[in-house]
Amino acid sequence: MSTDPMTPADALSTAAEVMPADPLPTPGEPAHDPDLRATGLRLSYDNRVVVAGLDLAVPPGRITAIVGANACGKSTLLRALARLLAPRAGAVQLDGRALQSIPTRELAQRLGILPQSPTAPEGLTVIDLVNRGRSPHQTWWRQWSKADEQAVHEALAATDMTDLADRPVDELSGGQRQRAWIAMAVAQGTPVLLLDEPTTYLDLAHQIDVLDLITDLNRRENRTVVMVLHDLNQACRYADHVVAMKSGRIVAEGTPAEVITEETVESVFDLNCRITLDPVSNTPMVIPMGRHHRDR
Amino acid sequence: MTNPKTADIAGPTNPADPVDTTATAAPAPPPLRTQRTFRLTVPPVSGILRPRLMTVGALLAVGTFLLFCWSLTIGDYPIAFTDVVRALVGSGDPGTVLVVQELRLPRSLVGLLAGIAFGASGGLFQTMTRNPLASPDMIGLTQGAGLFVVAGIVLGWDGGLGTQSLGLLGALASAFVVYVLAWRGGTTGYRIILVGIGVAWICTSATDYLVAKGGRFEAQAATGWLVGNLNGRTWSEVGPLAFALVVLLPASLLLGRLLRTLQLGDDVATGLGTRVQPVRLAILLSGVGLIAFATAAAGPVAFVALAAPQIAQRLARTAWPPTLTSGLTGALMVLGSDLIARTLISGTELPVGIVTGVLGAPILLWLLVRANRAGSGG
């Protein structure tokens, strides 16, 4: 199997030395970065146009966060990047090929998607779920190869789910459940990972836990991550690149400091705010001002 | 929540964990921690063996065979169990061989094969729609078969096709209607169920109208068929059903792998490289084929397609209805019910469909209640 991710031992020992800007090539894989981009993208559900004429180049090897108000088209854009929604016009391309022209299975070896709040069938164990992440690499006669077994165990270790491998997913806590799904996406071994609101329904500690885990995957294994996030402060902390959307258009994109300004937040969310510096991460921190807290 | 590094420190309990090996050599894959699975590797073939599923499957197969032989011993002229087994392979008293092979075997074979088809097809539908209530008798296939057969009986225009072909055509026609009506730039399991329920009620109403309109003799014949009956089955019913199983059962087993991703929802399945629409259509075609041929041969035997997969899943403790085990459970239900139907009241042979519901429902309820008590949901 060509997509052997490096072992967690490799990752742990080297993660400290290697800066994110100088990514490790994954062993056994050509060291080329995935080039995921959308050009002239027009997306609609039936006749309702959600995204009209959008261009986006996803920075390879980085974490990109898509932010915006409800119904601004950010989840729709993510679905299009994951070929779950075919564009009405324009195209999403991976390494120069339109997604719709790449066989689904081949694409599934390069690009993984975790939809918002997926549900596992009752009684499905964590290890069975994670093993299903290997299906793009499996055939009906080869369903548990050495590479599969290794990838599943590494994914379980990377998400700290090894001890829960035999537990049914539906009996886990919300945070554990989300890590089980992320483990499935990790086992899939794709250079690109798309996540739709991976922190939904989690309490604050588990939100941070999941975002830390996603950062680990990016820093250790050089996976390109695109995720839809609701929380601007978390987007600022965890993303290298922020895309702010409003009414199906990109209003601003760039580093958190470039994008998250009082003007952008006001125009994107219709919300007055102050921006200060996050004392922990030195990234912008949004302090919203509602009607009761203006002019103070 | 523990820090990811604690998993590494937990090494001693799991010495083969890859984090303990050096980074230079490819680490040997650790043994699966789970007790319920182990690995089979005959290069390049590999898979996961599930001992409990295999044990349950083997026990069901043995039980099915025993019931099958037992059902052959029953009749106007009782034959000993050992003589039945001998007659099956053609040795022993020629009279016994004739009775077993020509008179009794077709009935038992239709019961066996139809049971397998009902169970396996129910499992396919339930996994595909992600809904344990989805079975061919909920989404209109059985009712379509019933409508065509009753129309043939009551109106008298079967076009020389006979009950069996009419049932087959009816099931296929209603499946086609359901699929087309549920299509809206692709189908979803949910829409198939909703449309199917609608089609089922239309067919049921039309069938009821025909039964009410028909003469007493026709109405009685129609009702007899609608219950599901193994009485008087001949080799002409066995042939098509056996052929359908030979083709469709292996196809269903091969599709099982794709069902495992479809079970996670359409978006996740697509993300994992499954072509959702073609796969769903292929599963639908196999399931419809199985149910159509089985219904044509045995009539719409109640409850088997709904309950057998659920019973099999709970016996095997899997998170999906295992196709083959569901089929064996279905066969056991049909053969067992037919035995009861024939022996309960001496001198009267009840239709098998009356017994399947009475027998299957308590088993399913017991399994559900037991699962709830064990705290693993029902």
Which residues in chain B touch residue A148, judged by CB atoms under 8 angstroms apart?
46
CB atoms B271 and A121 under 8 Å: no
- Residue A131 at interface with chain B, using a CB cutoff of 8 Å: yes
Q: Which domain holds residue B83?
A: 53-371
Q: Residue B13 domain-assigned?
A: no
3-state secondary structure of A225: strand
Q: Residue B91 domain-assigned?
A: yes
Q: Residue B61 domain-assigned?
A: yes
Select the residue of A119, A142, A216 nearest B46 (Cβ to Cβ): A142
Q: Residue B27 domain-assigned?
A: no
Q: What is the per-residue pLDDT for A122?
A: 87
Q: What is the per-residue pLDDT for B171?
A: 92
Q: Residue B82 domain-assigned?
A: yes
Q: What is the per-residue pLDDT for B1?
A: 39
Q: What is the per-residue pLDDT for A202?
A: 87
Q: What is the per-residue pLDDT for A36?
A: 96
Q: Residue B208 domain-assigned?
A: yes
CB atoms B260 and A135 under 8 Å: yes
CB atoms B10 and A122 under 8 Å: no
Q: What is the per-residue pLDDT for B19?
A: 38
Q: What is the per-residue pLDDT for A18?
A: 36
CB atoms B32 and A112 under 8 Å: no
Q: What is the per-residue pLDDT for B120?
A: 96
Report the predicted TM-score, pTM, of the whole model to 2 decimal places.
0.84
Which residues in chain A touch residue B17, judged by CB atoms under 8 angstroms apart?
153, 157, 162
Q: Is residue B305 within 8 Å of B291, Cβ to Cβ?
A: yes
Q: How many domains does chain B have?
A: 1
Strand order in the sheet with A36-45: A48-58, A36-45, A89-94, A97-98
- Residue B41 at interface with chain A, using a CB cutoff of 8 Å: yes
Q: What is the per-residue pLDDT for B376?
A: 44
Classify residue B131 by its DSSP letter.
-
**String of DSSP letters for B184-217:** SSS--HHHHHHHHHHHHHHHHHHHHHHHHHS-HH
A97 — phi, psi (to 5°)?
-115, 135
Q: Which regions of chain B are under pLDDT 70?
A: 1-39, 41-43, 158-160, 371-378
Q: Residue B87 domain-assigned?
A: yes
Which residues, in sequence order, are CB contacts of A65 under 8 Å at separation 6+? A227, A228, A229, A235, A238, A239, A241, A242, A243
Q: Residue B249 domain-assigned?
A: yes
Q: What is the per-residue pLDDT for A295?
A: 60
Alpha carbons B220 and B115: distance in angstroms, whole number: 25
Q: Where are the alpha helices (DSSP H) in chain B?
A: 4-9, 51-73, 81-88, 94-98, 105-129, 141-155, 162-182, 189-213, 216-227, 235-262, 266-271, 276-298, 304-316, 323-343, 352-373
Alpha carbons A150 and A6: distance in angstroms, whole number: 10
- Among A residues 67-96, those touching chain B with beta carbons less than 8 Å apart: 79, 82-84
Q: What is the per-residue pLDDT for A277?
A: 93
Alpha carbons A80 and A75: distance in angstroms, whole number: 9
- Residue A197 at interface with chain B, using a CB cutoff of 8 Å: no
- Residue A143 at interface with chain B, using a CB cutoff of 8 Å: yes
What is the nearest CA distance from B82 to chain A, expressed in angstroms?
A: 40
Select the residue of A83, A106, A115 nearest B268 (Cβ to Cβ): A115
Select the residue of A118, A127, A160 nearest B268 (Cβ to Cβ): A118
Could you report the per-residue pLDDT of B287-342, keeping only the tens digit for each?
999 999 999 899 888 889 999 999 999 899 899 999 999 999 999 999 999 999 88
Helix B323-343 × helix B352-373 angle, to 10°: 130
Which residues in chain A touch residue B254, judged by CB atoms under 8 angstroms apart?
140
ipTM above 0.95, yes or no: no
Q: What is the per-residue pLDDT for A12?
A: 38
Which residues in chain A touch residue B39, judged by CB atoms under 8 angstroms apart?
144, 149
Pairing outcome for strands A224-228 and A63-68: parallel
Q: What is the per-residue pLDDT for B25?
A: 40
Amino acid (one-letter) located at A112: G
Map tokens 């001693």 to a residue. Answer: B12
Q: What is the per-residue pLDDT for B3?
A: 41
Which residues in chain A touch residue B6, judged by CB atoms under 8 angstroms apart?
160
Give me B101's structure tokens: 């092979």
pLDDT in tens, chain A (296 residues): 334 444 444 443 433 333 333 334 444 444 478 999 999 999 999 889 999 899 999 999 999 999 999 989 999 999 999 999 999 999 999 999 999 999 999 999 999 999 998 999 988 999 999 999 999 998 888 888 888 889 999 999 989 999 999 899 999 998 999 999 999 999 999 999 999 999 988 889 989 999 999 999 999 989 999 999 999 999 999 999 999 999 999 999 999 999 999 999 999 999 999 999 999 999 999 999 988 887 65
Select the residue of B6, B39, B377 nearest A170 (Cβ to Cβ): B377
Neighbouring C-alpha atoms within 13 Å toward the C-beta of A158: 33
Select the residue of B20, B22, B34 nearest A165 (Cβ to Cβ): B34
Query: The domain that contains B238 carries what CATH number?
Result: 1.10.3470.10
Q: What is the per-residue pLDDT for B2?
A: 39
Q: What is the per-residue pLDDT for B343?
A: 86
Which residues in chain A touch residue B250, judged by CB atoms under 8 angstroms apart?
none
Give me B26's structure tokens: 């490819």
Give me A168's structure tokens: 């049914």
- Residue B22 at interface with chain A, using a CB cutoff of 8 Å: yes
Pairing outcome for strands A249-254 and A89-94: unpaired
